[in-house]
């Protein structure tokens, strides 16, 4: 049986509690959550009813640490860069044309 350790702390008072959870059903509420997400701690037992906890770190079963800000937008498609460059060239020639006409 794999045990999971939860380190629950309250920074305002410096209080800290380490809980070892054997039941995977109790941990399901914490799965697939991102950092800084607030989760109800009711699943941990009667002692934790009504408490909300914020996920501030951790690691997965392979030992990789959680990092904030990993999820990002996909890079723009290659044609988007082409269109931006095309607009810049068009704007450049438009400015040149206006300068020639004004002189």
For residue 17, is it within any domain? yes
Q: What percent of the chain has pLDDT over 70?
A: 83
Mean pLDDT along residues 1-24: 87
What is the per-residue pLDDT for 13?
92
For residue 18, is it within any domain? yes
Residues 6+ apart with CB under 8 A from 24: 2
For residue 9, is it within any domain? yes
What is the per-residue pLDDT for 60?
73
Q: How confident is the model at residue 52 (pLDDT cuts 50, 70, 90)?
A: very high
Q: How confident is the model at residue 84 (pLDDT cuts 50, 70, 90)?
A: confident
What is the per-residue pLDDT for 69?
66
Q: Tell me what the pLDDT averaged over the chain comes to.
A: 81
For residue 73, is it within any domain? no
Cα–Cα distance, 39 to 43 (Å, whole number): 10
pTM, full prediction:
0.57
Catalogue the E-assigned strands of the chain.
Answer: 4-10, 15-21, 38-40, 52-54
Domain that holds residue 37: 4-54
For residue 93, is it within any domain? no
**Number of domains making up the chain:** 1
For residue 91, is it within any domain? no
For residue 16, is it within any domain? yes
For residue 10, is it within any domain? yes
């Amino acid at each position: 049986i794999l045990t999971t350790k939860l380190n629950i702390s309250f920074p305002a008072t410096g209080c800290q509690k380490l809980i070892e959870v054997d039941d995977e059903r109790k941990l399901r509420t914490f799965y697939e959550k991102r950092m800084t997400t607030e989760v109800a701690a009711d699943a941990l037992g009667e002692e934790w009813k009504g408490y909300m906890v914020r996920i501030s770190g951790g690691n997965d079963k392979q030992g990789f640490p959680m990092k904030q800000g990993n999820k990002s937008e996909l890079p723009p498609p290659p044609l988007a860069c082409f269109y931006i460059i095309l607009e810049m060239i068009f704007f450049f020639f438009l400015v040149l044309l206006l300068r020639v006409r004004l002189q």
